[in-house]
């Protein structure tokens, strides 16, 4: 575990990486000759950071959609740090540090929007529709 933490500390936002990790398996009988609970996975993406309050996750941006003025929507993979088994840097600073920061900010904006309750200024007004008089 210490080795993977040191590898993660050595990453910079914007690095193109391959992350090796073990995913959870579904609860089916292993009587068909397949053994092992851990499912090995390799994910490739741009490292944007480690986030999470209860459990830290490694965030890899995989598809980035730039709309305007640095606003992005991203497809991402979030891997719990304890599930990681290795990180390989494929290209340092593959994405410039400023752009990586914008990716992270867009990710955080999207997460905040999901958790935010509508304010009075943003409430939608519902109206009843009458199809017949």
Produce one character per residue of 105-114: b if its CB has 16 or more CB atoms within 10 Å, e if not: ebbeeeeeee
Read off the pLDDT of each residue in 62-71 and give the average, rounded to a whole number.
79
pLDDT (tens digit per residue) in 90-120? 999 999 988 888 888 877 775 555 555 444 3
pLDDT (tens digit per residue) in 18-61? 999 998 876 665 555 555 677 899 999 999 999 998 999 999 99
Tell me the two tokens of residue 14.
Answer: 């914007």
pLDDT top residue among 97 and 131: 97
Say if residue 121's pLDDT is above 50.
no
pTM score above 0.75: no
């Amino acid at each position: 575990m210490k080795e993977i933490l040191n590898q993660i500390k050595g990453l910079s936002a914007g690095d193109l990486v391959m992350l090796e990790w073990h995913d959870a398996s579904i609860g089916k009988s292993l009587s068909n000759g397949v053994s092992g609970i851990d499912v090995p996975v390799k994910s490739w993406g741009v490292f944007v950071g480690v986030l999470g309050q209860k459990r830290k996750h490694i965030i890899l941006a995989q598809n980035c959609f730039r709309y305007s003025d640095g606003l992005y929507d991203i497809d991402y993979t979030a891997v719990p740090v304890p599930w990681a088994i290795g990180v390989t840097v494929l290209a340092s600073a593959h994405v410039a540090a400023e752009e990586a920061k914008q990716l992270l900010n867009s990710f955080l904006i999207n997460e905040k929007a999901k958790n935010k309750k509508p304010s009075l200024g943003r409430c939608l007004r519902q109206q009843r529709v009458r199809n017949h008089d």
